[in-house]
Amino acid sequence: MTATARYSQVLLAVWRQRDLSSPWGRRTIAALLVLSGIAGLIWLPREAAWRVPLVELLVVVLGTWMAIGTNLLEQNHPTAARCVPGHVRTLRRAALLGWALCTLLFTLVAWAMMPTAGLWPILLLCSGFLSAFLLWTTRLVWLWFLAILLSPLSLAFGTSLAPARRALAALWESHTYEVLLLCLLFQAWLAMRAIANGDARHQARYATQALMRRAMQMQLEGKPPAISAWAPFERLSRPFVRILSAWLRHVLDRADNASLRSVMARAEIVLHGQQHWLRYALTMGVIMAFVFAIFALVLSTTGVSLALVLQHGGFGMGIGLASAGLNPGFTTPNMLWQSRREQALLQLLPGMPQGRALNVALARLQWRDFIVGWLLTTLLLVALGMGTGNQLLLCLPLAALPIAALTLTRPPALMRAPTAMTMVAPSFIFLTLAGILFLLARELGAPLWLLGLAMLAVSAPLLAWRWRRLVAAPAALPAGRLA
């Protein structure tokens, strides 16, 4: 086998192992990228329009490199990869080749966006660092959290770090190409070192990463993640288990078969499973408490003003809040697929609604959870907008309305098995629609109240039409029996 064939097999394994049975996810993303590029060329100012396809190309290059890096680490099995002579060396050289290609492509595209003659060395340096960093994040996920924590500290210690920055700038100005060469050699060494050597630490890390990959795949398919059996996670989840057990006892102690609310509260524990509102509230509460604690620590120890943090990070915070508060509502109906066996028994529960009444009761449960999450997310985005002086983040909850009208009114009896595509597609379409509303408000000056009326004008008739179809559909449970 030639070297070209050998390295192409290693680097392109992630493409050859793609799911051929469901190509629509890839086609949809490609179509949206093409359409957004064309829309940018048509509607944006000329000086900014041509940059949209280049930015999309950068995103594609970096996303492809992360996928290749993840697959390279997966191929580097602690024992199996060492049964083939020279395979580990091939993996390391493939990682080096992938890093070099990604660095080169990123530099060329970035230089095309900023065609300044003396800028290409710093672009090459930054591109190499970013490519090496992304490869290592596929091996050590905590590097992302480290970068998030260190980013505000760089602002806080700006004065203290100023002499070091000036010294580095002077060294760069006087020995540009020598420093660039040394840095690129170091980055190339890091790219090859990302392929571990099969020792005990590698075996433990590989087992953990395999468990994480399996958990992510199960999460995309709407299944309970297998990570709950992992010992560290099991110890951390004990307080949550106690709270959930207390809620279950509370519901059972106050069971009343004559009350539809009591019957559906018990059924919801089974039907919504991992996305039960209490599980989600506990998870989000812990995440919010952790984020607030980090912010309080950074602000109190560094003296950085909250206004400065919100000014530079408010947009990303808003997207994070909206994704966490709204996306789970879109995928709640998929959880019905996991409890199909139990649903036949649930229908025998005294007081359980039947037929069309069951369709309405189940839809109301899902809409209740979504509306509560939508209201809380909107309030947080309003508060964040007041802190940043920019209310355009409200485009996010406005864009969620038509998506919810579509996803939360599907007849459960006709649903198919969830796939990665059906789990991710609503969130992707939601963010795309929010981006369109954001551009309309910022570039064309469309007022938010007008965009809100437009979303309501689309969502209300859509919901009324879908609701009538839902009510007239066959009984919801067991889910998917008529697919």
Per-residue pLDDT of 22-68, as tens digits, reads 676 677 777 777 877 787 777 777 776 777 788 888 888 888 898 89
Question: For residues 141 and 376, which has the higher predicted lDDT (pLDDT)?
Answer: 376
Span 412-453, pLDDT tens digits: 988 888 776 677 778 888 888 888 888 888 877 888 889 899
Average pLDDT over residues 301-330: 77
Domain ranges of the chain: 3-13+22-198, 237-472
CB atoms within 10 A of CB 471: 15
Tell me the C-alpha distance between 160 and 156, whole Å: 9
Q: Which position has the higher pLDDT, 228 or 209?
A: 209
pLDDT at 235: 66
Tens digit of each residue's pLDDT (9 = 90 or more) over 175-186:
888 999 999 999
More confident residue, 362 or 55: 362
Pairwise pLDDT comparison (296 vs 97), residue with the higher score: 97
Question: Phi and psi for 339 in degrees, rounded to 5?
Answer: -115, 30
Task: Summarize the confidence of residues 125-134 as an average pLDDT.
Answer: 92
Both tokens of 390, joined, read 């920019």
Distance (Å, whole) CA 321 – CA 433: 16
Average pLDDT, the chain: 83
* pLDDT score, position 217: 66
pTM as predicted: 0.68
Is the predicted pLDDT of residue 351 greater than 80, yes or no?
yes
How many Cα atoms sit within 13 Å of 183 on the Cβ side? Answer: 22
Q: Rounded CA gap, 311 and 309, in Å?
A: 5
